[in-house]
Chain A
Amino acid sequence: MIAIIKYNAGNIQSVANALERLNYECIVTDNPAEIRRADKVILPGVGAASMAMSYLKEKKTDKVIVGLEQPVLGICLGLQLMCQHSEEGDLKCLGIFNAIVKKMPPLDRVPHTGWNNLKERKGTLFTGIQDNDDVYFVHSYAASLCTTTIAICDYIQPFSAALHKRNFYATQFHPEKSAFVGGQILKNFLAL
């Protein structure tokens, strides 16, 4: 069973739909016991970081996430919440990855909206993914490069398109909206 963490953010149903298309059973929950029991956990999210973080704290899901030992995947805002700090609302985040999240400088169009490719991909999350494969991004804040970066996207400046530390994985792009390439990345995560 895959647990999708429920909180006040958009796109949670999109992730559930994507898992259903891949024939995986999932539940959307903020119940700590259900989250701990799941084989895999996904923290999706689109929206404002501070509102999302307050909701996680209120439900005490923040502590649950940090203590998980099964594979966890953060998506988009989920990735940002798993970093140290976000400039969006000067927010202390979960601190799983040592990256800092900052507003993308307005030297090109922001939000970074559309399909872009991934450089310097590392590890099993990207098995079967080629240099010219594109994934879908839509975000105005981005995580800095750090020792746990496993894929880089270069838009305005290079940022962490994916992160991995121990059992924790995260993507800034939306695998659930990235057509068949995104489906492959989700399958790779689900096969961990």
Chain B
Amino acid sequence: MLKKRIIPCLDIKDGRTVKGINFGNLRDAGDPVALAKKYVAEGADELVFLDISATIEYRKTLADLVRKIAREINIPFTVGGGISTLEDVDLLIKSGADKVSINSAAVRYPELITQIANKYGSQCVVVAIDIKLQNEEWMVFTHGGNTATSLKATEWALRVAQLGAGEILLTSMNNDGTGEGFALDITNQISNSLNIPVIASGGAGKEEDFFLLFEQTTASAALAASIFHYNTIPVSTLKKYLKAKNISIR
């Protein structure tokens, strides 16, 4: 049976792991490679590295970090943050990333999704969608949540799947960093409208939040950062808890 995945996310800024609250107020959370190894040992199913500095000077440093991670860890990992061209993707894949995650660039230039899928296969393209509730409608935001768009979350999700995305990483900005649980309704609605896996993100604060996600939605995976970084809930403890609750977990 296919297992539900638990995915720690490492936000990277200038080579360090950081974590913010509601997309702001960054706190230092440690060395990415050391954290990555710790998560693998604890039973993480995949890892996501999102580079939130993503300046041009930093790009080369990110590729170096990706190479280091690829040498050290034996589970799949996704790299995202500031990817805007197929050349950016080439560099990260060549450095050892299994998948890339694109966000703002996909909104600006949707054909990029298809280009990556054609070159590396759909399984390589994760489209990250940051959403926020605006006048009772979930809308898509870009540029780390700073820029509003006219795209409705449900419609954009459908479109990126048609363009060749292999997975969607759906982050609710309303929930992110609050520790009050995932955005269950919109996650389930989008997941049910698609035939590709949806990774839910934003809001995990306790073990039960993951249970509710997998019990009440069809999401394929859960992504979280702070609760793992600060050891609030170690990955191994969470997985043991979910197994005991009869969720299909590795």
A residues apposed to B, CB below 8 Å:
10-11, 13-14, 17-18, 20-21, 46-48, 106, 108-117, 134, 136, 138-140, 154-155, 174, 176-180, 182-183
Contacts and interface: CB of A to CB of B under 8 A. Distances in A.
Contacts of A183: 74
18 contacts: A10-B121, A13-B70, A13-B94, A13-B96, A20-B71, A46-B121, A46-B123, A46-B124, A47-B121, A110-B195, A111-B123, A114-B220, A136-B76, A139-B123, A140-B123, A174-B76, A176-B74, A179-B40
Contacts of A111: 122-123, 166, 196
Dominant SS among interface residues on chain A: mixed
B143 interface: no
Interface stretch (B1-9, B102-110, B146-154, B206-214): B1-9
Sorting the interface of chain B by its residue count into under 10, 10 to 19, 20 to 34 or 35 or more gives: 20 to 34
A128 B96 CA distance: 28
Contact of B124 (A10, A155, A177): A10
B2 A114 contact: yes
Contacts, number: 89
A116 B249 CA distance: 10
A138 B220 CA distance: 13
Contacts of A176: 74
A17 B96 contact: yes
A101 B143 CA distance: 41
Contacts of B15: none
Contacts of A48: 118, 121
A122 to B, nearest CB: 21
Contacts of B74: 18, 21, 176-180, 182-183
A42 B233 CA distance: 39
A14 B5 contact: no
